Amino acid sequence: MANTQQPMVTPAALGASLAAQRKALGYTQGQTAALVGLNTKTISHLENHPQKASVDTLFKVLAALNLQLALQQRATGHTAQGEW
């Protein structure tokens, strides 16, 4: 993934970033799932509906994709519709 420090402010952005990283690593959804003991359907669901995923699932997939979660203070200003 070219820019790994992009803010995730919508579920769609998170799902797209996870899918992009998976593809950049050359993994299928099935391969990613197998790395952390999940079903392929779970990876698909996370990429397409991340707002419904458990924190546990998110962290397993982050680990499989060699990513980590970093929290930072949000820039002040108006929050766009659809942002978390």
pTM value is: 0.84
- Tokens 């397409």 belong to which residue? 48
Domain ranges of the chain: 11-64
Which range has the worst mean pLDDT, 7-11, 25-29, 62-66? 7-11
CATH of domain 11-64: 1.10.260.40
Quickly list H helices, the chain. Answer: 11-24, 29-36, 40-48, 55-64
Q: Rounded mean pLDDT of 42-59? A: 96
